[in-house]
């Protein structure tokens, strides 16, 4: 088989914690990954509210370069509209190494749990599961009701990894960037990319 660059789909939805997505994408790009990015309408809204970052109307890689510097230049990024159900990542014949939905709203979680596939994020997640590829879901809500919990169980039963937006504090984070790097590091680790974004626990 031909060796190719790692290709990972990132879905950003309208849950709090957009910074987790930015740090995950930064780390993927810095590790030479080809990122296929889809952001929902409310994902974009929350991103602009919670950070100084916008993905509207610019070359996306340039936006990441402006924020994080040239280290992200090792990778590449392709952005799609969440309405574009004909995009290449909507098909299982487009080979990827998996997908992370970060952060994942309870609405998108419900869509994935039901196989609804009404948006590109939901469709790409559905395809990732049906092809037996890695799906990492980073849900964020609190408190959780029983519907949220059942939907998490349903996607876990279908093969997804549930990686809650729950950064640890044993690495003594000094900034919110440290917290975001912790989450990004845990996500990358599930894709077998050891990016050393935080100090592992040592007794």
Ligand X SMILES: Cc1cc2nc3c(=O)[nH]c(=O)nc-3n(C[C@H](O)[C@H](O)[C@H](O)COP(=O)(O)O)c2cc1C
For ligand X, the binding residues in 47-66 under the rule CB under 6 A are 49
Given 141, 158, 178, 190, the residue binding ligand X (CB under 6 A): 141
Per-residue CA distances from 170 to 83, 163, 174, 198, 200 (Å): 40, 18, 11, 10, 9
Look at strands 7-12 and 34-39 and give their pairing. Answer: parallel
Q: Is 13 in the site for ligand X (CB under 6 A)?
A: yes
How many CA within 13 A on the CB side of residue 203? 0
Q: How far is the CB of 12 from ligand X (least distance, A)?
A: 8
Could you tell me which of 134, 99, 93, 97 has the C-alpha nearest to residue 120?
Answer: 99
Q: Is 175 in the site for ligand X (CB under 6 A)?
A: no
Q: How far is the CB of 31 from ligand X (least distance, A)?
A: 26
Given 28, 30, 43, 184, the residue binding ligand X (CB under 6 A): 43
CB nearer ligand X, residue 13 or residue 31: 13
Give the interface with ligand X as residue ranges (CB under 6 A). Answer: 13-16, 40, 42-43, 45-46, 49, 105-108, 140-141
């Amino acid at each position: 088989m031909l060796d190719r660059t790692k290709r990972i789909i990132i879905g950003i939805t309208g849950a709090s914690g957009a910074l987790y997505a930015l740090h995950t994408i930064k780390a993927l790009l810095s590790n030479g990954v080809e990122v296929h990015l889809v952001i929902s309408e409310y994902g974009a809204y929350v991103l602009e509210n919670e950070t100084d970052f916008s993905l509207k109307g610019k070359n996306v890689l340039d936006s990441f370069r402006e924020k994080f510097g040239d280290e992200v230049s090792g990778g590449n990024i392709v952005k799609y509209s969440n309405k574009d159900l004909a995009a290449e990542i909507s098909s299982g014949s487009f080979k990827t190494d998996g997908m992370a939905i970060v952060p994942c709203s309870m609405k998108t979680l419900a869509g994935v749990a039901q196989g609804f596939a009404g948006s590109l994020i939901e469709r790409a997640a559905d395809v990732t599961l049906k092809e037996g590829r890695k799906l990492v879901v980073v849900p964020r809500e609190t408190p959780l009701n029983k519907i949220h919990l059942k939907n998490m169980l349903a996607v876990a039963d279908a093969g997804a990894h549930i990686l809650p937006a729950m950064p640890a504090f044993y690495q003594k984070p000094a900034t919110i960037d440290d917290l975001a790097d912790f989450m990004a590091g845990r996500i990358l680790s599930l894709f077998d990319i050891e990016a050393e974004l935080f100090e592992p626990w040592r007794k």
